[in-house]
């Protein structure tokens, strides 16, 4: 009897497993592309890091989610990949393996290469990446912001402030840049643009450039900031994600100024953050998704966008700028921005 029930059990278990597998298969089926409503569109927003504190990622997610809000047939999944860059390719591979997403949307200069590798295994998968330049791959479309340009005008403002007479400006001509990590877009365009812009004010201005080694270590950023203030830096810029909070904190405690890339962050430290650039990433992402739905995205190419076409800007209508900068600096800087918009300022963007 004992033997019989045991035998019975061994037969029943595999049958139950098959049934479970079938139910699971059927219940998953609506998610597979074949079963999707004909006009349903699914987007994976792949965040290469964490969203909070990183302007480019916040705007990327906001653009995709706001697009989905007004398009019933569009679903968006935002996935945060975390800071371990060695894991990104494997993670992305398993995310797209089910064929669930019509497109993968990301924003990072290092992503196209990863997507090219992942795409080899899934030749129907399409990838659209902003803040990156990559061409020649029929699965990938990229949009590069002219970040030299944004750094150039933020550098010009830093130059006016460091040579001016605001409360925390010292007599030296040294400005600072804190980066989380070095990469080609940063080393070849973002940092040189900042110094070149400052030198349009005064060719004697020098740059103190330091690297944190992390996108999240605000304490290390604070430490570097303190050291740089000690050695004479009075105006800072950074590309450092969430770690930039440490720089802002120390600048506020010690008395130094910050110009900020990519987003309106004046309210984080009024009177300390005295200039903010704007990357119109939310607008670009909404336009990209509209283009995807209309079948108008071109793959295999890279497009560059900047101030003249309205994808980079400077936020000059915020109290953080209007109320804290002396009138003469505002006048000079606003005139410079007008000239940039009108294409009247000549500069050469170094190649990537």
Q: Considering beta carbons, is residue 48 or 163 the nearer one to ligand RBF?
A: 48
d(CA 247, CA 134): 32
* Minimum CB–partner distance for residue 247 and ligand RBF (Å): 13
The residue count of the chain comes to 352
| Beta bridge partners of residue 45, listed in sequence order | 78, 105
Q: Considering beta carbons, is residue 229 or 237 the nearer one to ligand RBF?
A: 237
* Minimum CB–partner distance for residue 55 and ligand RBF (Å): 6
d(CA 310, CA 299): 22
* Minimum CB–partner distance for residue 50 and ligand RBF (Å): 7
Nearest of 135, 85, 138, 145 to residue 114 by alpha carbon: 85
Please answer whether residues 152 and 346 qualify as being in contact, where contact means their C-beta atoms are separated by less than 8 angstroms. Answer: no
Q: Considering beta carbons, is residue 61 or 239 the nearer one to ligand RBF?
A: 239
* Minimum CB–partner distance for residue 230 and ligand RBF (Å): 26
d(CA 174, CA 64): 40
* Minimum CB–partner distance for residue 185 and ligand RBF (Å): 5
d(CA 258, CA 26): 56
Neighbour order of strands in the sheet with 257-260: 206-211, 174-179, 235-239, 257-260, 273-279, 312-314
Q: Report the interface residues with ligand RBF, using CB under 6 A.
A: 48-49, 54, 56, 85, 108-110, 131, 147, 181, 183, 185, 215, 239, 241, 262
Q: Considering beta carbons, is residue 85 or 304 the nearer one to ligand RBF?
A: 85
Q: Considering beta carbons, is residue 168 or 183 the nearer one to ligand RBF?
A: 183
* Minimum CB–partner distance for residue 309 and ligand RBF (Å): 17
Please answer whether residues 341 and 316 qualify as being in contact, where contact means their C-beta atoms are separated by less than 8 angstroms. Answer: no
Q: Tokens 């994600």 label which residue? A: 241
DSSP 231: T
Q: Considering beta carbons, is residue 102 or 131 the nearer one to ligand RBF?
A: 131
3-state DSSP of 194-231:
HHHHHHCCCCCCEEEEEECCCCCCHHHHHHHHHHHHHC
Q: Considering beta carbons, is residue 250 or 262 the nearer one to ligand RBF?
A: 262
DSSP codes, 144-172 = EE-HHHHHHHHHHHHHHHHTS--TT--SS
Q: Considering beta carbons, is residue 150 or 163 the nearer one to ligand RBF?
A: 150
* Minimum CB–partner distance for residue 241 and ligand RBF (Å): 3
* Minimum CB–partner distance for residue 109 and ligand RBF (Å): 5
């Amino acid at each position: 009897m004992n033997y019989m029930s045991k035998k019975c059990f061994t037969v029943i278990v595999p049958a139950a497993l098959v049934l479970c597998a079938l139910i699971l298969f059927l219940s998953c089926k609506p998610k597979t592309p074949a079963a999707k409503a004909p006009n349903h569109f699914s987007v994976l927003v792949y965040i290469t890091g964490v969203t909070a504190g990183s302007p480019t990622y916040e705007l990327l997610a906001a653009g995709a989610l706001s697009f989905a809000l007004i398009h019933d047939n569009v679903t968006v999944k935002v996935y945060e990949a975390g800071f371990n860059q060695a894991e990104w390719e494997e993670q992305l591979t398993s995310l797209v393996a089910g064929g669930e997403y019509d497109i993968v949307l990301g924003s990072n200069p290092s992503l196209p290469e990863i997507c090219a590798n992942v795409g080899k295994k899934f030749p129907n998968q399409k990838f659209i990446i902003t803040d990156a330049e990559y061409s020649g791959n029929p699965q990938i479309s990229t949009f590069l912001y002219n970040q030299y340009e944004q750094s150039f005008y933020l550098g010009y403002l830093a130059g006016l402030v460091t040579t001016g007479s605001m409360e925390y400006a010292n007599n030296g001509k040294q400005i600072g840049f804190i980066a989380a990590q070095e990469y080609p877009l940063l080393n070849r365009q973002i940092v040189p643009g900042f110094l070149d812009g400052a030198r349009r004010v005064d060719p004697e201005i020098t740059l103190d450039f330091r690297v944190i080694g992390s996108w999240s270590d605000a304490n290390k950023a604070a430490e570097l900031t303190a050291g740089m203030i000690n050695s004479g830096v009075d105006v800072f810029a950074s590309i450092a994600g969430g770690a930039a909070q440490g720089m802002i904190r120390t600048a506020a405690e010690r008395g130094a100024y910050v110009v900020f890339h990519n987003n309106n962050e004046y309210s984080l430290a009024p009177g300390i953050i005295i200039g903010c650039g704007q990357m119109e990433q939310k607008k670009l992402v909404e336009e990209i998704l509209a283009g995807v739905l209309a079948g108008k995205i071109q793959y295999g190419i890279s497009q560059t966008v900047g101030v003249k076409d309205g994808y980079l800007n400077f936020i000059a209508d915020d109290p953080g700028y209007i109320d804290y900068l002396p009138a003469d600096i505002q006048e000079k800087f606003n005139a410079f921005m007008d000239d940039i918009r009108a294409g009247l300022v000549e500069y050469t963007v170094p190649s990537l």
